[in-house]
Structure 1
Amino acid sequence: MTKLTGDGAARRIVADIKEQIHNGAYRPGDRLPSTRLFAAEWGASRTTVTAAYGQLIAEGYLTSRAGARAEVAQGLGRAAAPKPAIAAAPRHLSAFAQRLAGLPVPALAQPARIADFRYGDLSGADFPVLAWRRAMNRASVRRGARLAYGDPQGSADLRAALQGYLWRARGISCTPDRIVIVNGSQQGLDLCARLLLDAGDRFVIENPGYLLARQAFAAAGGAAIPIAVDGDGLRTDALPPARLAYVTPSHQFPLGGILSATRRRALLAWAAREGAYVVEDDYDGEYRYDVAPIPPLQTLDADMVIYAGTLSKTLSPTLRLGYLVVPAGLRQAFSAAKRLTDRHSPLLEQEALADMLASGAYERHVRAIRRKNAERRALLLRALADRLGASVTVEGADTGLHVVIWVNGVGAGRVGAIVAAAQAAGIGLHPVSPLYDPAGPQPATAGFILGYAGLHADALRQGVAVLATVLAGFR
């Protein structure tokens, strides 16, 4: 008979002996057969059985003494009957963890047969596969003799390349040492929250506004002061005392207003009086259509404004690459916080992006994707006009990658039913109402965010056609 040998046979013997111990066939103190006898019973080589016994001794299942057979270790009797799986309450949670536990849990995205208008998605077909692959290959080949941790602020090559890009694309003048590479702008917001807010500190935030920003600041212990927005962005006529303000001045999220020059000056004057910082989220600043590019707030005061940018709206949200431009006085704090958080963002991807920026491939890609999304935007607006006409009011179409529609004559109380009907009809529809402060006034009219950057032309047309049919049943 061929004897069982090798690691696989040893693993099978180990698993069999463990099962017999747990089932009570072997009890604490029982001696196991000698390796010679066990090998004969199993048809295994003695070397294999000896290796299996050695593994069980190392794991604490068996004990051994010189010249004696291995014994089952004490405390390993028959396993108790399994208890029903009940999530035990944590022994202790920090105040931060308790605040996190109090935040609403987002629902899992449901697949849509025809079109999902979820904001933030990009079309997979738009990703610059060849340019990215070439850049990644070059970055891989250029690896150093030693693979080591890098600067927590990010690759020096990438920060130098971003300095030039931000000057060309957004008019931002900064030195590379004021740029911090982060895992998407969301990590940047989290760092701002942890470094600038203590428990109980107040922060100003747009209402409606970006939900994950509000949650990041609240999780750090901040107290939200929601401020209404209108067509000119955040209303600055009566800003209260606070430690921080979060704004999206170039394209207010979600309603699309652009912060006026007067309000920009008023916001910065408020920050100077309060000794506060302004966090400027320029989440989709590359996309301008019917208006000229708006200079970032950071260009007006680099010492009070923290500028947050992202690659999620130009390359892919899956890459998790973003950046902050911080005032000189905050550089050390952000660098130290980034080091403790995750050492640094992935270096290979950073070097690939630096390569694309240096070669001009990234800016060529931005120009191409801007044209494609301008075409999607035009198609969506045309379809909304043709299918829905005056039954909806469209906001925020001049910039960015989404629009907001308000369904005229339909109350906000019917939003849930509309979303369910849309899902049943094959489209994903996402309401505006969760972006409003839950403790304040809510919109009276049903409103929805329509993201279009992830959809091809046919999906946009069919999606709007289905949307028109769904809404017809609620008017």
Structure 2
Amino acid sequence: MPTLPQPDGVRTIASRIVNAIRAQIADGVYPPGSRLPSSRALAADLGVSRTTVTAAYEQLAAEGYLEVRQGARPQVPKGLRLAGLRPDGLKRGDLKTVSPDTGAPPPRLSQFGRRLAGLPMPDPPGTGAPIIDFRYGELAASDFPVLPWKRAVDAAILCRPTRLRYGDPSGSPELRSALQAYLWRARGLRCDPDQIVVVNGSQQGLDLCVRLLLDPGEPAVVEDPCYAAARDILAATGARLIPRTVDREGMRTERLPPARLAYVTPSHQFPLGSVMSVSRRRDLLAWAQSCGATVIEDDYDGEYRFDVAPIPTLQTLDRALDGTLDGAGRVIYLGTVSKTLSPALRLGYLVVPRPLIQPFRAAKRLADRHTPALEQSALANLLASGAYERHVRRVRRRNGERRAALLAALRTRFGDGVRVDGAEAGLHVVAWLTRFPLKREAMIVAAARAAGVGVYPITPLYDPSSLSGRPDSDRPDHPGLVIGYAGLEEHEIAQGIERLGAALDSLAKSLA
């Protein structure tokens, strides 16, 4: 009979019985087809209640280790075998259930599935994390407004509905009304609550846009360099990408070819940080009107302007140029709280032209019914109380201090060996290492990682053609690092840049 391991303070008696029997099946004590003692007999042997043994047997049956029938002793299934073992080489716990499909080819994927399978996947968070990580898109946990958020969540929980039911796919009316007022105050953007669709982060919002507006093979204009996840969404849909070079005035808009869609980050270009000039914004909207295209305006970190006020949105300019309340309907505005509250909340929103309200509501409903209601209610409370904007002012000031620490550390450690772009806004900068050739970029990242510093190359954010001599490419011939600083404290920033500098000094000596 199984010998129960000693109690460890965590496992219940039933779970210890389950583990003991699993081990004996794996060891061959109970081979396939054999029967175990009745629940009454095993309970007597172990000195436990019959109910406990019955619960253990039911758990093993649910996992496929046993077959249980009323009036009969439990039996190890005849189709259960140890995977890839010789009779003399049993290994504990290495079990699988044989199915008729063993050895059969994998299921056939759709074209969309095959495109997805070919996309690279990032490492799971925390995998081989460096000592000091300059990963962009991450925030300091200490910046999260714990007490205001707790009060907002508590208030949402206390407002219990009479029934638990699915909500509006577009989002709760309270949150959409609060977002409407906030967007007008913070971004000068006018819309009706019905035009707002609450989504699970800007990533889902962009995915819905691309699925609804593009068919496979249709052209889409993207910035170069570009937010990698946006490019992946477009590629998975089968879009034909048209990369357009970015300079200090944002994406170049002269002689744009006809397309169905354009994806831009005009208020703070990702990753270079430039702001699209008014003339190019006008050109982009005129182009969209002429060829019937839609512009997706990703305003992922519009709250963070350190030297000037936030830049008016493309959607605001579209309304001004058209002279109507709704504008010409050429722009979909995409916003998020991932850079102000937390990327873990997965809360974002779209502001769509009126003709697109119904398709987006239907698409959101089919995707996941609606965004979780508790988080929506909490954010609505935070916005309505003014706590959200107080928090934004606080973290803007705090990240301004981190930004200053980073710029000072780069200037002190590298001098004229570094050129920084995009420091006027946002939560990252691009550092061009002017003393190294572009071909050393991968070596620089590896040397930094060996020194315990996580830095991230800009090259993967460029279209491959810009690295192979595309005539209109402004890609510098130096390594570029995208350095995020919102997840670090000032002393960590200074220490990380010092470590990076020492690693690059050693690398330079080895290459001399």
Q: CA deviation at 1:466?
A: 2.0
- 1:92 maps to 2:97: no
The count of corresponding residues between Structure 1 and Structure 2 is 463
Residue type of the alignment partner of 2:429: V
Structure 1 residues 409 and 88, CA, compared in 2 at 3 Å: closer, same or farther? farther
Q: Does 1:412 align with 2:429?
A: no
The Cα offsets for residues 343-370 of structure 1, whole Å up to 9 and x where unpaired, read as 1111111111111111111101111111
Q: Kindly indicate whether the alpha-carbon contact (under 8 Å) linking 1:373 and 1:453 is maintained by their aligned counterparts in 2.
A: yes
- What is the aligned partner in structure 2 of residue 465 from structure 1? 498
Aligned to 1:194: 211
Shift in alpha-carbon separation, 1:408–1:165, aligned structure 2, 3 A = same
2:218–2:239: 8 Å Cα contact kept in structure 1?
A: yes
Q: Distance in 2 between matches of 1:239 and 1:391?
A: 36
SS of 1:300's equivalent in the other structure is: helix
CA–CA separation in structure 2 for the residues paired with 1:201 and 1:242: 7
- Counterpart in the other structure of 1:111: 129
Q: Conserved in 2, the CA contact under 8 Å of 1:311 and 1:317?
A: yes
Map 1:203-352 → 2, pairs under 5 A: 203-301=220-318, 302=327, 303-352=329-378
Contact 1:281 1:309 survives alignment (8 Å): yes
Q: Distance in 1 between matches of 2:403 and 2:484?
A: 9
77 and 153 in structure 1: CA distance in 2 versus 1, 3 angstrom threshold: same
Query: How far apart are the structure 1 equivalents of 2:487 and 2:19?
Result: 52
Q: Which runs of 5+ in 2 are unaligned?
A: 1-11, 86-93, 95-101, 319-326, 469-474
TM-score (norm 2): 0.82
Secondary structure in 2 matching 1:445: coil
Which whole-Å CA distance do the structure 2 matches of 1:427 and 1:55 have between them? 46
For the structure 1 residues 82 and 166, does the alpha-carbon distance in structure 2 shift closer, same or farther, using more than 3 Å as the test? same
* SS of residue matched to 1:318: helix
Distance 1:406 1:17, change over 3 A: closer
Residues 11 and 178 from structure 1, CA distance in 2 versus in 1: closer, same or farther, beyond 3 angstroms?
same
Could you say what secondary structure the match of 1:253 adopts?
Answer: coil
**Aligned equivalents of 2:147, 2:505: Cα separation in 1:** 45
**Aligned residues of 1:21 and 1:77 also touching (Cα < 8 A):** no
Amino acid at match of 2:72: A
Post-superposition CA distance 1:207-241 (Å, at most 9, x none): 00100001011111212111111111111112112
Question: Are the aligned partners of 1:14 and 1:52 in contact in 2 as well (CA < 8 Å)?
Answer: no
465-474 or 392-401, which moves further after superposition?
465-474
* 1:315-364 Cα distance to aligned partner (Å, 9 max, x none): 11111111110111111111111111111111111111111111111101
**Alpha carbons 1:204, 1:226 under 8 Å: kept:** yes
Letter of the 2:128 counterpart: Q
SS in 2 for 1:409: coil
- CA distance 1:437–1:37, change in 2 (3 Å): closer
Verify the 8 A CA contact 2:14 2:55 in the aligned structure 1.
Answer: no
- Structure 2 distance, partners of 1:10, 1:453, is 44
Give yes or no for the alignment of 1:455 onto 2:488: yes
CA distance in 2, matches of 1:82, 1:27: 13
Partner of 1:77: 78
Equivalent pair of 2:199/2:347 in contact (CA under 8 Å): yes
Q: 1:417 to 1:71 in 2, by over 3 A?
A: same
- Residue 413 of structure 1 and its aligned partner are, at CA, apart by 1.1
Greater CA deviation, 32-41 or 284-293?
Answer: 32-41
CA positional deviation for 1:25: 5.5
Could you say if the C-alpha distance between residues 224 and 62 of structure 1 is closer, same or farther in structure 2, counting changes exceeding 3 Å? same
Which residue of 2 is the match for residue 3 of structure 1? none
Correspondence for 1:4: none
Residues 244, 276 of structure 1: 8 Å contact kept: yes
Letter paired with 1:94: S
Instruction: Show the 5 A alignment for 1:362-377.
Output: 362-377=388-403
Percent same amino acid at aligned positions?
A: 56
1:102 to 101, 118, 124: 118
Q: From the superposition, tell whether residues 366 and 87 of structure 1 become closer, same or farther in structure 2 (CA, over 3 Å).
A: farther
Q: What does residue 157 of structure 1 align with?
A: 174
1:137-174: CA deviation from partner (whole Å, max 9, x where unpaired)? 11111121222211111111111011010001000000
- 1:438 Cα deviation (Å)? 2.2
Provide the rounded CA distance (Å) in 2 between the counterparts of 1:260 and 1:89. Answer: 54
User: What whole-Å deviation, never above 9, does each CA across 1:259-303 have from its counterpart, x for those lacking one?
Assistant: 111111111111111111000000110011223321010112241
2:448 paired residue number: 422
CA contact (8 A) 2:200 2:348 kept: yes
**1:429 & 1:17 partners in 2: Cα distance?**
46
> RMSD in angstroms over aligned alpha carbons?
3.1
Aligned to 2:8: none
Query: Residue 83 of structure 1: SS of its match in structure 2?
Result: coil
1:18-57 matches, within 5 Å, as 23=28
Cα distance, 1:254 vs structure 2: 0.6
Q: Which residue does the alignment assign to 1:396?
A: 422
**Helix, strand or coil for the counterpart of 1:106?**
coil
Which residue of 2 is the match for residue 445 of structure 1?
478
Q: Is residue 355 of structure 1 aligned with residue 355 of structure 2?
A: no
Aligned AA for 2:448? Answer: A
Helix, strand or coil at the partner of 1:440: helix
Q: For the residues of structure 2 that align with 1:10 and 1:292, how far apart are their CA atoms?
A: 60
Task: Sort the Cα spacing of 1:205 and 1:88 in 2 relative to 1 into closer, same or farther, 3 A.
Answer: farther
Native 8 Å contact 2:418 2:431 kept in 1: yes
